[in-house]
Chains A and B, each alone.
Chain A
Amino acid sequence: SYELTQPPSVSVSPGQTARITCSGDALAKKYAYWYQKKPGQAPVLVIYEDRKRPSGVPERFSGSSGTMATLTISGAQVEDEADYYCCSTDSSGNPVFGTGTKVTVL
């Protein structure tokens, strides 16, 4: 089965830049999506199609792609503390979520 691997955790101070990577064999050919998940809340889409930002998502969130997808939070805020999941598609076109990264801002 297709796997997307993320670092378990990333820690930054407020105002610093957090980068979360997502690696998978087919990422160079498939779109990546990023979701923010806070405890007790539904996930929120923060990046779609590698680098596009949905309406309402702060500009400090950005995405890049290549052989690895990356979510960057430029000038991280305390409210950005959450789990982040990348998502792409397998050979059947079905969604697959990454392993998840816990971002700590302190």
Chain B
Amino acid sequence: QVQLQQSGPGLVKPSQTLSLTCGISGDSVSRNNVAWNWIRHSPSGGLEWLGRTLYRSKWIYDYAASVKGRITINPDTSRNQFSLQLDSVTPEDTAVYYCARSLYGMDVWGQGTTVIVSS
């Protein structure tokens, strides 16, 4: 049974960097053609896909245009986890952040981390 366990701070100051980690059990971050995603659910409404990494003979990184330039997703094969870094955050980045595996759709999700951007 695949499980994702998220960790990271729930409060970040404006202009600083949001950092979250997603630990994987029951699967491997370097499994071929399986994508590891970050998604957020903001107070204003819907779900927003932020980005993903996957291994396909080499590491591939895809990011949403809305956060490109501020976002970095990194796999950590030694710890079997992947991370999210979002730079220069503003209050508009306040949201519940989720990690998720894509095997056939996003079929396994982390528990979610509420991140508030406030001074």
Are A37 and B47 interface neighbours, CB within 8 A? yes
Contact (Cβ within 8 A) A43 B98: yes
Q: Is the interface of B mostly helix, strand, loop or mixed?
A: strand
Distance, CA A94 to CA B63, complexed state (A): 8
Q: Which of B7-15, B24-32, B76-84, B99-107 lies at the interface?
A: B99-107
Interface bin, chain A: 20 to 34
Count: A-B pairs, CB below 8 Å: 59
Starting from the known contacts A42-B112, A49-B104, 9 additional A-B residue pairs (CB-CB under 8 Å) come to: A42-B111, A43-B106, A43-B109, A45-B106, A49-B105, A85-B47, A87-B49, A95-B106, A97-B49
Whether A87 and B98, one on each chain, are in contact in the complex, defined by CB atoms closer than 8 angstroms, is no
A45/B107 in contact, CB under 8 A: yes
For chain B, give the interface size range. 20 to 34
Residue B72, interface by CB 8 Å: no
Residues on B facing A (Cβ under 8 Å):
37, 39, 41, 45-49, 52, 62, 64-65, 98, 100, 102, 104-107, 109-112
A100→B111 contact, CB < 8 A: no
Q: Are A54 and B46 in touch, CB under 8 angstroms?
A: no
Chain A residues engaging chain B, CB cutoff 8 angstroms: 1, 33, 35, 37, 42-45, 48-49, 52, 54, 85, 87, 92-100
B109: chain A residues within 8 A (beta carbon): 42-44
The 8 Å CB contact of A95, one of B37, B45, B104, is: B37
